[in-house]
Structures are given as C-alpha cells and as structure tokens.
C-alpha cells in the first residue's frame, strides 16, 4: 500500500498466508467487501499477515479506514 492505493496485481493461492506491507503515511486495512477476511490496522511502515480464502474467486477489497481505497484480490 502506498499513496492510498493497493499496489500491483494481488493474486494468491487458496488458503495462502499473505503478507501485507503498508508503505503509506497513514494506517490502513485490507478487508474483503463481503467481510470474509480482513487484516488488523496496519500502521505506516509495518506489515501484517492474513489467510486468503480457501475458495478460488475474485474478491473486492477496501480499507475500513479509507473506504475510497479499493482493489481486488484474486484467489486462484
């Protein structure tokens, strides 16, 4: 995450442990729009992990703190 955007193509394997780094100046989350997964609040310069869904698909994502910050996580 940088400049209030999710960077690059986010494609992961089903059930993978995903590391998310916040290289922005503000705290963020990476949260599925349907609520099926979320990270804790990630402070600037910090990282966290979460488990990707086990079901393949395309998941719209957002930041709970900055709702205009959106992207897509593809599980394949």
Q: Which domains does the chain have, with CATH numbers?
A: 10-68 (2.60.40.420)
Section 25-39 average pLDDT: 95
| N-to-C CA span, the chain | 21
> Does residue 9 surpass a pLDDT of 80?
no
Section 40-53 average pLDDT: 97
Rounded to two decimals, the pTM is 0.89
User: What pLDDT is recorded for position 16?
Assistant: 97
User: What pLDDT is recorded for position 12?
Assistant: 96
User: What pLDDT is recorded for position 67?
Assistant: 95
DSSP 9-67: -EEE-TT-EEEEE--SSS-B--EETTSS-BPPPB-TT-EEEEEPPSS-EEEEEE-SS-T
> Does residue 8 surpass a pLDDT of 90?
no
User: What pLDDT is recorded for position 7?
Assistant: 83
- Closest by CA to 61, choosing from 14, 5, 16, 23, is 5
């Amino acid at each position: 995450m940088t400049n209030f955007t999710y960077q690059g193509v986010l494609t992961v394997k089903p059930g993978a442990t995903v590391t998310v780094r916040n290289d922005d100046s503000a705290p963020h989350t990476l949260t599925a729009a349907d609520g099926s997964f979320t990270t804790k609040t990630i402070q600037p310069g910090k990282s966290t992990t979460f488990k990707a869904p086990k079901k393949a698909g395309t998941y719209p994502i957002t930041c709970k703190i900055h709702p205009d910050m959106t992207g897509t996580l593809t599980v394949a």
